[in-house]
Each structure stands twice: as structure tokens, then as C-alpha cells.
Structure 1
Amino acid sequence: MSDAVRETLDRYYAALKAGDSVALRGVVSGDIEVHYPAPEGLLPWAGDWTGFEGFEAFLKTVSDHLVIDTVEPISLHVAGDTVITVLRGEWTVKATARKVHTETVNMFTLRDGKITRFQVFTDTAALGIGLGRLAA
């Protein structure tokens, strides 16, 4: 992986962790696309979000419902302008206090040192159970 790709991801995750909107604007393109697939109505943050304002609304919706307890990187793969990270994490659902453990794949598309597309593939059933929207 190139140093530029590593730097972009490091800046992105640091800005997310700090909740730093200015730093996020420096690493995320203004026309970013977020894609988080899930069955309709299951996860409040699922769907497609566009533009930086959409990206911020996506992050706020996630943070309205989840607390990130731990995230552990498992692997990272780079193919051209696409970066795939595999993460293991634990989240607490605010409304139910349930803990959710999942492995998640984040897929980034980079252009000119900025993230232009962010896709998330995770265990939507585990999150749905944690939210109390699915029976265990």
C-alpha cells in the first residue's frame, strides 16, 4: 500500500474518532457517496447518502443509535483506487443497551487523495437484533 493511501485512511479514522468535521472535509470529497445496504426499515442509517452534508447526516444517524466500543482492524487490501478494510467491532445500541459484535467490511474509493465513495457491508441481522427490530 502506498504511503498516500495509508495517510488518507489514517487521517480519515483520526478525524472520525475526534469528531472533527473540518478534518473530515480535508479527507472526504464534497461529492462523496455513502452506500450502506440493509433490508428496508431495518437500520436507520442504511441506504444511500450523497455529498458531504449527506455524509455528515449518515454519521449523525449512526451516532444517534450506536456507541462504538471497540474496533479492531483485521486486514486491509488495496486494488487500484479501491481500499477494503475488514474490521471486528463491538457496538452498544443506545436505545436497548445491547452489545453487538460484528465483522464489517469498509470499502473506500479514493481519488486525488480524498475518499469519494464509502461502502459498508456488515451483519445487518446482528444490528437489527441489537436495535430490537428482529427477534434473536
Structure 2
Amino acid sequence: MNRKKILVVDDNEVILRTLSLKLKADYEVITAIDGSEAVAAARTKNPDLILLDIGFPPEVSGVPWDGFRIIQWLKRMDEAKNIPVIIITGGDASKYKDRALAEGAVAFYQKPVNNDDLLAKIREILSAAPATPAATPATPVLKLA
């Protein structure tokens, strides 16, 4: 059985490592440090869930990325539009939560995150979500002569 994949997107490498350590016992973890890496990983790695920060430096990789722009890009991509996104941010919850949920996030957490609550939410979401196409056995194709 393939393990579910989680893409963790944060510009803080300490947070990336911390979340990876918390998740790697049960999940395959993919990390991205900016929006362009996140979009590329969502397109090519087929994650089952994305943990996404909102706050990024004003301009990374030549594009003014923030978590909202990343969600907008993901929701436009056929490969990623159905991947659940959980927002984890150090920003002001009263300022970001409603917009994050309106943009398509399935949950919102403010840092510091209660790891038990986050892990429970991840399990809940992933138990309800079908496996990504890459994790599902291919249906055999019969060729007729």
C-alpha cells in the first residue's frame, strides 16, 4: 500500500523540517520553500494534501507569491484543483482565515500549531479523500485485435 503524500509549503526551513519530522512516520512528505516550487510539486508529485503557509517574502523566484496566490494557481490546475489545502500561518487569523477558506482551504491553523489537532485534522481529511491517481493501481487496458 502506498503512503499518502503531503506537500508542506513554507519559506521557513525550520518549520519545514519540524512539520516533516512530525509527518514522516505516517506519510510521504514533500517540501517546497516558495510558490513556484509548490506549484511544480503539486503538478509532478501528486500530493494527497497540502499544508500551506500564507506569508512569504514579497517576491520569490521573480513572482510576488503569497499563500493566496498559490491556492489560486492550484485551483486552476487540473492536476491540483481537488487537492485539499490546510493553511498554517503565523499571520493574524482574524485577517486571513475567512479569505483562506473562501479561496478553497479546507482548514486554517495559526502558528504555533497544536500538533495533535493538526494531525487529527490531516487524518480526518485523508481518510475521506480518495487516493491520488498516482497512488491508485492502474486499470488494465484491454486491446482488441
| TM-score, length basis structure 1 | 0.30
| TM-score, length basis structure 2 | 0.28
Structure with max Cα Rg: 2
Which structure carries more helix by proportion?
A: 2
